[in-house]
Amino acid sequence: MPVQTSPRPMSQEHDATPRVSSAIPTQGGRGGRRGGGGPRKRTMRKDPLWARLTLIFGAVLMMTSGIAIVGSKALISQATGNIAQSNLLGGAGKTDAEGGANVEGPIDMLLLGVDVRQNWAKDDIRSDSIIMLHIPASHDQAYLISIPRDTEAQIPAFKKSGYRGGTDKMNAAFQFGARNGGGWQGGAQLMAQTIKNMTGVSFDGAAIINFGGFKSVIDTLGTIRVCVSHQVKSIHTSVVDGKHMWNTEAQKTGRPMTPMVYKKGCQQMTGLQALDYSRQRYGLPNSDYDRQQNQQQVIKAMARKATEKGVLTNPVKLNQLMRAAGKAFVVDTGGIPVPDFVFALRGVTANELTMLRTNGGTFHGNANKRETLDAQTLAMFKAVKDDKLAEFVYANPNVLSTRK
């Protein structure tokens, strides 16, 4: 669906230090940066932020090989020339002292999934998919960590939307930031700040994934191979006369409806099937934890399909993928030109994408019946911040997801 058009938003908590646009080239390495502690600066873009957001498959597929995408930095520049960016991090972006606006060190991105439906207000949605992407300084591995949507969080005050701060579920941070004109930018900024306060991790970039556009990206790829670990019956879709469709559409036919069932085993999924499957949590043994793993699995399957079939080496297919992705993603690369960002990750492929889980994949409820992060999970986030995640995973293999 179309996204909003507005001037480049500024973090209300850091109005005096706007972040540098991706149009401004990054200067120097980490050792040559000045001013160790302040937020990095950006200037405002003159072009409409939401106009033709043609994000390369990079919000999720940034972890695929840069060489696999196009083969050279010049061609990456050509392929990404129309990409627009939005300030999604506000004050949660890495400072100069943390290596902000620099692709030479570890890279941490926040991926947020939003489920936008036609009858929902644009400023009244929650982000039910919250994923941290960590790429170590070696740039030869990528890790996905899903943060439970029901995690109890201290959400800070946010001037832009008028939110005064409080305690709520983690996924509510996006909603509170988006209200009263905050928009998706405000939602992402408040979510990023909430996660930074909880985990200590600052971010190099962020992406918002609209699940409706997500379907189009998969359809452009054709199908993806997903291995279903637990049979689950969909609460969102049904089969009518052999056709798979959303329940709202199925009801209009007046024909008998049979709920879609995803049976255990490996299978090829269309965009609708993959999207529907990744949204299910009812009926799964570990509810939202199983859904998190399913979402990670779908992301990895997309990355694998794109590289295995040569989609990213074919200019025609790449352009088709970019057009589809433009409907699905909004991106912030933290002031780093997109070609530089993608090229820096050329050594990471889908095979090096490791999926991790919090709390051992089980619910840790508190007195408010909300999720809390255990000591091991908090230690894992510290390992992310210190760029020692590989060592942590080696010492704590139970954080590895069992999905392939």
**Tens-digit pLDDT profile for residues 3-29:** 333 333 333 333 333 332 222 222 333
Determine which helix (DSSP H) or strand (DSSP E) holds 243, and give its type and residue range.
strand 243-246
What mean pLDDT is predicted for residues 152-173?
95
pLDDT at site 74: 62
pLDDT at site 350: 58
What mean pLDDT is predicted for residues 271-280?
90
Report the percentage of the chain scoring pLDDT > 70: 69
Span 293-340, pLDDT tens digits? 887 788 778 877 876 656 666 767 766 776 666 666 777 888 887 777
Of residues 213 and 362, more confidence is placed in 362
Residue 367 placed within a domain: yes
CA atoms of 152 and 169, how far apart (whole Å): 5
CA atoms of 12 and 270, how far apart (whole Å): 41
pLDDT at site 134: 92
Average pLDDT across the chain, whole number:
75
What mean pLDDT is predicted for residues 60-74?
41
Residue 157 placed within a domain: yes
Question: In CATH, what number is assigned to the domain containing residue 368?
Answer: 3.30.420.590
Place of tokens 């940066």: 33
Domain that holds residue 323: 43-220+311-399
Please, are residues 200 and 305 in contact by the beta-carbon 8 Å criterion? no
CA atoms of 51 and 222, how far apart (whole Å): 26
pLDDT at site 79: 55
pLDDT at site 111: 87
Residue 377 placed within a domain: yes
Nearest to 356 by CA among 328, 330, 383: 383
pLDDT at site 244: 96
Residue 62 has pLDDT above 60, yes or no: no
Phi–psi pair at 377, nearest 5 degrees: -65, -45
Residue 384, strand partner residues: none
CA atoms of 340 and 80, how far apart (whole Å): 11
pLDDT at site 210: 76
Locate all alpha helices (DSSP H) within 222-374, ordered by sequence: 247-253, 271-279, 288-308, 315-326, 338-344
In the structure, what pLDDT confidence band is assigned to residue 80 with cuts at 50, 70 and 90? low
If one counts the domains in the chain, the total is 1
Residue 283 placed within a domain: no
Place of tokens 């006369």: 241
pLDDT at site 75: 56
DSSP code of 163?
B
The neighbour count for residue 291, using CB atoms within 10 Å, is 23
Please, are residues 127 and 174 in contact by the beta-carbon 8 Å criterion? yes
Residue 54 has pLDDT above 50, yes or no: no
Residue 295 placed within a domain: no
Contacts of 67 (CB under 8 A, 6+ apart): 346
Q: Tell me the pTM.
A: 0.72
DSSP code of 31?
G
Please, are residues 223 and 215 in contact by the beta-carbon 8 Å criterion? no
Residue 391 placed within a domain: yes
What Rg, from alpha-carbon coordinates, does the chain have?
20
Residue 202 placed within a domain: yes
Residue 395 placed within a domain: yes
The neighbour count for residue 233, using CB atoms within 10 Å, is 12
The neighbour count for residue 263, using CB atoms within 10 Å, is 9
Contacts of 180 (CB under 8 A, 6+ apart): 123, 161, 162
CA atoms of 125 and 109, how far apart (whole Å): 21
Long-range contacts of 289-294 (CB under 8 A, 24+ apart): 289/148, 289/357, 289/359, 289/361, 289/362, 289/363, 290/229, 290/230, 290/361, 292/129, 292/146, 292/148, 292/357, 293/146, 293/229, 293/355, 293/357, 293/361, 293/401, 293/402, 293/403, 294/226, 294/403
The amino acid that residue 215 corresponds to is K
pLDDT at site 247: 93
